[in-house]
Structure 1
Amino acid sequence: MRTITVLATTLLIFCCGPAQAWWDEGHMQIAYIAYTKLTPAVKARADALLKLNPDYAAWTAGAPTGMESEYAFVHAATWADDIKLKPNYRYGKVTDADAGQNVGYSDLVNHDYWHYKDILFTPDGTPLPAPVPVDAVTQLNKMIAVMPSSSGATDDLRSYDLSWTLHLVGDLHQPLHVIARYTAQIAGAVGDRGGNEEKVVPATGETIALHAYWDRLFGGYSSVFGAINDATHDGISGITPDAAKAGILDPDVWAQEGFDLAKQNAYADPIRTDKTAVELTRAYETNARNIARDRVALGAARLANLLNQVLQ
């Protein structure tokens, strides 16, 4: 029993960190929906690049015959989180000289600080620190620039960047991955870390971090089959985002959208400016689910449009 408890606690701590977004379900649903919107030529290019990822065999193990490429694409969306548990990868600091490097699979730093962009915000005039120079937006812009074959980048680097891109597009569409709130009660060097310092009690009854509440709105860990089934039967794949919004392929714009949503909705009443746990209202939870569904659908459409452009 103690072993199970320790393992569960370890997983909870890992999942509630600032670098985890949507958990497996949300990331894989975004990837699945995007894959259905790729042109045949772009699908073929993406499939070929992902075969270079060291986890490709694991991604396709057990996939139905003929669906190996689709399963790999969907599973690849979690790879940037998976490497945080690999013993041959190490944690680094955003201030390290190699924090912003983009060199391919030879890079064994897990770069957990690539998963978010802290746009700083204070509702009460609390002093704000200087922003960090490396984040999800800076790195995704680098990756977008080298993914076209005309960039001259190696296939190893393009494969690495594609694997990260499948994940980072999802991260940037989670509102609490693009904000850090500083208040008189929650300040310090990193503020609230995107809602990780505030505690909430949802209808399920447990006390969890606000960030984790938003991350898990599509569920937790899932198989590829489960994510595809949920995207199909829960209606996410049937949501058609505004075409003009889906055509916006600038990560800076995505981050600003999420920042505005977080200010107006993620930190809305009854969320407090201190660390006191608050019970979420039905209105808050309903609004959060609706925003999350719209962001996932929009993120999937943008991911497809982005790949159709850079891998054409």
Structure 2
Amino acid sequence: MIILFLFCISVFINIIASWSDEPHMLISYIAYINLNDGEKEILNRIFQNGNDAIFDNPITASIWADKIKPNNHKRTFHSSNFRRNELLDIFNEWHYVQLNYNPMKIYIAPYHLRAHKGKHNAMGILKHIYRILIEVRQKLGHGTYYSYNFYLRFFIHIFSDLHQPLHAINFFNSNYPNGDRGGTDISVNYKGSINKLHYLCDNIFKTRKKQWPNINMTNIERDARYLMSTYPPESFGNKLFLPHDKIKYIDDIAHESHDIAVQNIYSFFPLTDLKRSEQYSINQHFVINTKKLLNSQMVLAGYRLSAYLKDIIANIPPDL
């Protein structure tokens, strides 16, 4: 039983991809420009006093959580050779939450049934970080630049991850008894090459696949403003009416992403017979609609992130 439990963990823990660098930086920029000048000044000061000069601002800090992962060349599509290969795989589970999708109602091992519970997943860690930082309540002598950098870098990154629908789902059928790892085990034929569905959604079908440091910050600002003009706040209706209890709302965001994955992505595939060994063709209609959906999710994540950051910044001690 212990061996089976460990195997189940190892199977799913390999889903450690996330939005590519470009989407993360766009989301963070959208959040940043929706802060007021005082809030920006506080956030800038915190990151400028961090422990990693490469990620010393709110935009590049958004990708730090991916850059501290070990670089597994078997699954990595881009090189991170601008810095040493990191060893910190202990945080990998924080980038997603396994909300099960089991339309065939097959037997699921107990580990998978409870995988979304606890602290060590995207929902749990976001709630933990937000609660910790809110409860500081400007108390003098509380927190350091190190702790704020650690928490904020992870919060910004994982909050964005949670809006990528395939970070909130694990699909099961008889061919996927341990799940498909959020589309990581679904192969699709896109423009003549075979790619994993999760990978294509992370980089919005290769339209946002640039990796830092090969990203022009001027282009990030330009594209973020264009996306905001395409998806203004009013276009999201009540999705931007955040409740007073923002901790519980993190659960709602995760389930919203899960539902989007079910209704808009998995609905395209033959769920009963879906299997790892097959390669599935996707048509232009699916690609266009999914790209629009993912771009919309990026902007929504940025607007929502701004609201959460405002709360966090308002509780930072004035002596920090």
Equivalent residue runs for 1:20-169 within 5 Å: 20-55=17-52, 57-59=53-55, 72-85=57-70, 87=85, 89-92=87-90, 111-129=91-109, 130-132=113-115, 133=118, 134-148=120-134, 149-150=136-137, 153-155=142-144, 156-169=146-159
CA distance in 2 between partners of 1:182 and 1:245 (Å): 29
Which AA in structure 2 matches 1:198?
I
Match of 1:176?
A: 166
Q: What runs of 5+ residues in structure 1 fail to find an aligned partner? A: 1-16, 61-71, 93-110
Amino acid across the alignment from 1:298:
L
Other-structure match for 1:186: 176
Paired residue type of 2:187:
K
Q: Which residue of 1 aligns with 2:197?
A: 210
CA contact (8 A) 2:96 2:167 kept: yes
State the SS of the aligned residue for 2:308: helix
List per-residue Cα deviations over 1:67-104 (Å, max 9, x = no partner).
xxxxx211111010011145453323xxxxxxxxxxxx
Which amino acid is the alignment partner of residue 128 of structure 2?
K
The secondary structure found in structure 2 opposite 1:294 is: helix
1:219 is matched with which residue?
208
Give the 5 Å matches for 1:157-306: 157-188=147-178, 191-202=179-190, 204-217=191-204, 218-222=207-211, 223=215, 224-233=217-226, 235-236=227-228, 238-241=230-233, 242=236, 244-248=238-242, 249=246, 250-270=249-269, 272=271, 273-275=274-276, 276-306=278-308
CA contact (8 A) 1:271 1:278 kept: no
After TM superposition, give the deviation of residue 211 of structure 1 in Å: 0.6
State the one-letter code of the partner of 1:78: I
Give the whole-Å Cα distance in 1 for the aligned partners of 2:87 and 2:33. 32
Amino acid at match of 2:298: V
- Distance (Å, rounded) in 2 between the aligned partners of 1:301 and 1:263: 23
SS for the counterpart of 1:278 is strand
Helix, strand or coil: the match of 1:311?
Answer: helix
Q: Distance between the aligned counterparts of 2:229 and 2:150, measured in 1?
A: 26
Would you say the 8 A contact 1:30–1:297 is kept in 2? yes
Answer whether contact 2:168 2:255 (CA < 8 A) is retained.
yes
* Residues 94-137 of structure 1: per-residue CA shift (max 9 Å, x gap): xxxxxxxxxxxxxxxxx010000010111111122332232011
Task: State the alpha-carbon separation in 1 of the partners of residues 149 and 239 from structure 2.
Answer: 27
The answer on whether the counterparts of 1:91 and 1:112 sit within 8 Å (CA) in structure 2 is yes
Q: By how many angstroms is 1:237 displaced?
A: 5.1
Alpha carbons of structure 1 residues 198 and 140: separation in structure 2 relative to 1, 3 Å: same
In the alignment, residue 62 of structure 2 is paired with which amino acid?
Answer: A
How far residue 174 of structure 1 moved from its aligned partner, in angstroms, is 0.3
Aligned residues: 262
Q: Distance in 2 between matches of 1:208 and 1:81?
A: 20
8 Å contact from structure 2 (residues 32, 306) kept in 1:
yes
d(CA) in 1 for partners of 2:313 and 2:225? 26
Q: What is the distance in 2 between the residues matched to 1:271 and 1:297?
A: 30
Residue type at the aligned position of 1:177: H
Per the alignment, in what secondary structure is the counterpart of residue 201 of structure 1? Answer: strand
Identical positions, percent: 24
> How well do the aligned residues superpose, as a CA RMSD in angstroms?
2.0
Partner of 1:308, secondary structure, is helix
Q: Take 1:279 and 1:74, find their aligned partners in 2: how far apart are those partners?
A: 35
Structure 2: where are the runs of 5+ without partners?
A: 1-13, 71-83, 315-320
Cα distance between partner residues in 2 of 1:53 and 1:221: 25
- TM-fit CA distance, 1:185: 0.7
**Alpha-carbon shift at residue 243 of structure 1 (Å):** 5.3
Does the CA-based 8 Å contact 1:179-1:194 persist in structure 2? Answer: yes
1: CA distance, partners of 2:86 / 2:269: 42
